[in-house]
């Protein structure tokens, strides 16, 4: 309250973010629902991808603590960073990119999330 003069911080203009952003999300994350991830994805002007972690029980704490985070998440993050910077020195697989701004069904709840 001292910092903002309110119990809530001021709204942030997400459209002002100029850095390229990739979103990695999971369907079992109790702090970040896939619908909220889609809302954020649509607002980001330089989104380069939206990737679902390929394990249905992966949750918010697993991003840091899961034993298999490397194979489920970190290898893909490093692959994306390497390919984005044209420094790809090894072959790697990425999960499918789930974001397409032109997809009319993007906002509907479906199995695609």
pLDDT tens digits for 39-65?
899 899 999 889 999 999 999 999 999
pLDDT (average), residues 88-107: 66
Would you list the DSSP string of 21-38?
Answer: EEEEE-TT-SSS-HHHHH
**Higher per-residue pLDDT: 80 or 103:** 80
Q: Report the distance separating Cα 81 and Cα 86, nearest Å.
A: 9
Domain range list for the chain? 15-84
With beta carbons less than 8 A apart as the criterion, state whether 66 and 58 touch: yes
pLDDT (0 to 100) of residue 2: 78
Report CA-CA distances (Å) from 77 to 15, 66, 80. Answer: 23, 16, 5
């Amino acid at each position: 309250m001292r910092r903002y003069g309110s119990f809530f911080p001021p709204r942030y203009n997400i459209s002002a973010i100029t850095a390229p952003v990739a979103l990695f999300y999971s369907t079992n994350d109790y702090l970040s629902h896939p619908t909220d991830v889609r809302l954020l994805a649509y607002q980001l002007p330089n989104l380069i991808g939206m990737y679902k972690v390929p394990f249905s029980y992966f949750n918010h704490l697993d991003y840091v603590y899961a034993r298999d985070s490397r194979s489920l998440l970190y290898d893909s993050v490093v692959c994306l960073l390497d390919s984005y910077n044209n420094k790809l020195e090894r072959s790697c697989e990425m999960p499918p990119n789930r974001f397409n701004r032109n997809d009319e069904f993007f906002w509907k709840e479906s199995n695609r999330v």
